[in-house]
Structure 1
């Protein structure tokens, strides 16, 4: 980036590290091409940490678990509406659905019973399951957002049972290896930061423990680096490679539950934290473990993301810093729009469908997008807009807003000519209230004209 941009970014990082007394802090800006800037303050083993220095990333681990579950869904091995009991029987939360566990809407207790799991070695799944009694269900399922680490322990066990291997082996084989994330591990590998608590009233440190979380590992075990997480952040933004279909990642970024404000600022998708700030809509996750804080957020619309890692238990404003880094980068060096280029191939039958269509008197435009997708948008005023993806059987499936999941059909007459569009029983014709169209309730035989 430009020297002026780099200075502004580093100054913001330096201010956070100094005022919040972080032993060390590393940060990065990520765009489509990868990591475009990184900076650091403080010391690790007497040296300035770099983009390859490991930090514990805490609950960012949950995003890895969620992607593994979504891969199983895409393979047809499960449905997100399945109750947990169908795949991991015998738990007190067995009636909670997989979607509810992914989005923290299952009403399951936040922490595992007994000693606080983040500071003590964890037991295996059998021990965790046995420790959960009826009191682990603290809220009605689906009633509100209630963050649950326990739910992700259960999802990790689900992955393990479907794959016939440990959750960690699945992470390594299905995610880390294909994405070449060689510095993401369950335990620290040098160079790595040590976790510290900073005394609230003096500039002294206390080392924090970093035990293996056992069955709770899918909720917060992993260590990683700026370099590795830059690739993971690009995946969250949509550059999914062969790991996940981009549409599935878009589904994960869609809100399932948001805060109670009239204009929501925070919420959850399927395994992803969501946030809105100053018109920017972000997805990713934060992480917190004894001695460490982490934040990975991306704005899929602008293509800019940010990473923040520090080895302090508390007191560093990782989310606000992440917001500011994205804002500085986009204000000082905005990404140029992707250059338009004409299509190289076209389906003439689909091209003939484009143009004006009418739902009653309301006018819509049907556009042909890449990959034979269609987009239906109102031409005047407010209306229901959506994109549609080919379903493979001559129909299209809605992707956005009101028509998400609904089926768009192109209906032809006995001569093979296009008669109308049928979208979830809404009939679109080439003329307003086409007399020959199958308009529900029929059309007045006198047609359009003046009425006294």
Structure 2
């Protein structure tokens, strides 16, 4: 199962062993994915088994907690891609009768709807759930804590509502839709709503003594989309590969990239933690990661993917609290130190002569920009020297170019023989070329 070298595997296992021992975790598993494949798996501690305590394996189930949300979000995005909804739709359009009907689907996906974090029920993670109709009836004005769009405010309730939305639009339950549209196609057959053997028992570890307390487990019912699922390290590794771009036809890669775009920031000015559309985001040690954390009584789990590097990392543990918070970042650092990824070989590629003629320096007023030809007929417009607005563009059927990112994302670039028109900004071969239609007039340079 190990694809990394033995010295790397040993260093990774040692870091895992330190976490399990120093944080007093009953059992702990971790895995690294590279290029869509499981590259390393490690485990420490013991779980209860038919023949007594045994080491966990890649087939041992743990609770996913809120990682469930990211999977539900994929079904919502599939509905969007199919034209069944738009992200700007108010909830009322698809789920009439709730007192949250004015909130948009995008706000709910990104935790910017202002909805309360927890449902108006007893502590939902530790008590049996209520039906969706009951939960929706309980949601009133008191559950709206902030103006929609004002700020990031994590909401388990919001994803319970999104799960009911999925069920209504698919004519089934959120769980059956998720199974048919995401889990089965990805081969995640060991991801289930309730535990199956072999699975870890959830424990709370006493803060001042080396004893444990068994934590409860139940059907969360309406709150299930917020954190119901159980899974295995092997299945979660497949999910890490999915988040990294190996979507297996389940989701358009462009849609997955859209889910990874920051929509809300969780930690103010520092911006190390945020949220996209159903995905948590992190910036750590020079990396930009997408995935989700998970926490339920007796369990912690996290999965991250670094799409630009093709790497994914995860852990699953049966403890209520106590992890260091740096385990996965450390594992990625060890991998980079011992087996750094080699860059792809450069190879020449065919170029359209007309596009090749466009490349080179263009000027926005006096400022020089470089227009480069990208693979697959794309263009890149970047300021010479690096500081300023930069965007990539892709061709459209009408001969124009559409901005993909940066300041000009979604804007239109039009190419003329002597200038570029980028959403009314005119770029010329020479600074303020008098032969080009520069708005405002060009009188010539002078001392």
Q: Is TM-score (shorter-chain normalized) higher than 0.5?
A: yes
Aligned with 2:391 (options 381, 386, 390): 386
Q: Residue 244 of structure 2 aligns with which residue? A: 237
**Which 5+ residue runs of structure 2 have no aligned equivalent?**
none
Q: Residue 233 of structure 2 aligns with which residue? A: 226
Q: Is the 8 A contact 1:125 1:157 kept in 2?
A: yes
Q: Is the 8 A contact 2:215 2:297 kept in 1?
A: yes
* Superposition map of 1:276-425 within 5 A: 276-317=283-324, 319-343=325-349, 345-411=350-416, 418-425=417-424
Q: Residue 178 of structure 2 aligns with which residue? A: 171
**Which 5+ residue runs of structure 1 have no aligned equivalent?**
412-417
Bigger CA drift: 359-368 or 17-26?
359-368
Deviations 1:368-410 (A, max 9, x none): 2222222111122511111123344433322222112222222
Q: Is the 8 A contact 2:267 2:274 kept in 1?
A: no
- Separation in structure 1 between the aligned mates of residue 93 and residue 396 of structure 2, nearest angstrom: 28
- Separation in structure 2 between the aligned mates of residue 28 and residue 386 of structure 1, nearest angstrom: 36
- Change in CA separation of 1:259 and 1:214 when aligned onto 2, cut-off 3 Å: closer
Deviations 1:88-133 (A, max 9, x none): 1222222122111111111100011111111222222211100111
Q: Is the 8 A contact 2:259 2:278 kept in 1?
A: yes
- Separation in structure 1 between the aligned mates of residue 86 and residue 426 of structure 2, nearest angstrom: 31
Q: Does 1:191 align with 2:198?
A: yes
1:194 Cα deviation (Å)? 1.4
Deviations 1:9-48 (A, max 9, x none): 1111111111111110000111114111110001122211
Q: Is the 8 A contact 1:152 1:219 kept in 2?
A: yes
Q: Residue 263 of structure 1 aligns with which residue? A: 270
- Separation in structure 2 between the aligned mates of residue 264 and residue 4 of structure 1, nearest angstrom: 35
- Change in CA separation of 1:393 and 1:127 when aligned onto 2, cut-off 3 Å: farther
1:60 Cα deviation (Å)? 0.4
1:169 Cα deviation (Å)? 1.4
- Separation in structure 2 between the aligned mates of residue 294 and residue 286 of structure 1, nearest angstrom: 6
1:154 Cα deviation (Å)? 1.1
Q: Is the 8 A contact 2:36 2:238 kept in 1?
A: no
- Separation in structure 2 between the aligned mates of residue 230 and residue 381 of structure 1, nearest angstrom: 37
* 3-state SS of 1:145 partner: coil
Q: Name the count of aligned residue pairs.
A: 440
- Separation in structure 1 between the aligned mates of residue 194 and residue 373 of structure 2, nearest angstrom: 49
Q: Is the 8 A contact 1:304 1:330 kept in 2?
A: no
- Separation in structure 1 between the aligned mates of residue 437 and residue 219 of structure 2, nearest angstrom: 64
- Separation in structure 2 between the aligned mates of residue 109 and residue 237 of structure 1, nearest angstrom: 31
Q: Is the 8 A contact 1:194 1:207 kept in 2?
A: yes
Q: Does 1:272 align with 2:279?
A: yes
Aligned with 1:19 (options 12, 19, 22): 22
Q: Residue 5 of structure 2 aligns with which residue? A: 2
* 3-state SS of 2:362 partner: strand
- Change in CA separation of 1:164 and 1:346 when aligned onto 2, cut-off 3 Å: farther
Q: Residue 152 of structure 1 aligns with which residue? A: 159
Q: Residue 135 of structure 1 aligns with which residue? A: 142
